[in-house]
Amino acid sequence: LVLASALLVVSSLRVPVASTLRVPVASTLRVPVPPRMTTTAAPEPGDPSLILNVNRKLKDKKSFLQASSKAIAECFSKPEMYVAVCVNDDVDVLFGGSDDAAAVGCVYSIGAINQANNGAVTAKLSALLLEHGGVADNRIYLNFFDVPRANCGWSSKTFAG
């Protein structure tokens, strides 16, 4: 009865018969296995990008920009030639109701957004902000966004086509 119920459930699935898995039971039960999906997205220009606002004048802005670009490329394992960084320093930012040194930013990427990568980027950018702007790590917010290919434009089109 159990085997008959399993066959009834399995036969109601609409999965190509060519991809099946044989499971040994009293007799052989054929369980459909959906086709495997693989994604191997190559890095894209403009991917990833950082937009950062800091309420202090950075000591050496060009050096900070270069170091940030390199850090993002390393943390996301993407070629630096595709990284875009925009930093607005000496702007109005309040953090916790205080205008003490603070920063808020957004990191965007097509893929590569995950806990490990985000943590690595946060650590590296926090160290750079402390060195170049005196911003303590507990006064920095970074938000990470995994951007769908259709929502990222470059070279007169989106990455979806």
Residue-wise DSSP of 24-57:
-SSS-EEEE-PPPP---PPP-TT-SEEEEEESS-
**Does residue 128 sit in helix, strand or coil?**
helix
Q: Torsion angle of alpha carbons 121, 127, 132, 138, nearest 10°?
A: 100
**What pLDDT score was predicted for residue 47?**
78
pTM score, two decimals?
0.72
Residue 116, CA atoms < 13 Å, CB-side half-sphere: 6
Residue 42: its pLDDT value, please?
52
Q: How is residue 19 annotated by DSSP?
A: S
The pLDDT profile of the chain, 161 residues, written as one tens digit per residue, is: 444 444 444 444 444 444 444 444 444 444 444 444 334 455 444 579 999 999 999 999 999 999 999 999 999 999 999 899 999 999 999 999 999 999 999 999 998 999 999 999 999 999 999 999 999 999 999 999 999 999 998 889 998 88
Supply the pLDDT for residue 7: 41
Residue 35 annotated in active site: no
Catalytic residue of the set 16, 35, 45, 48? 48
pLDDT (0 to 100) of residue 111: 87
Contact by Cβ (8 Å): 102, 137: no
Q: What is the pLDDT of residue 154?
A: 86
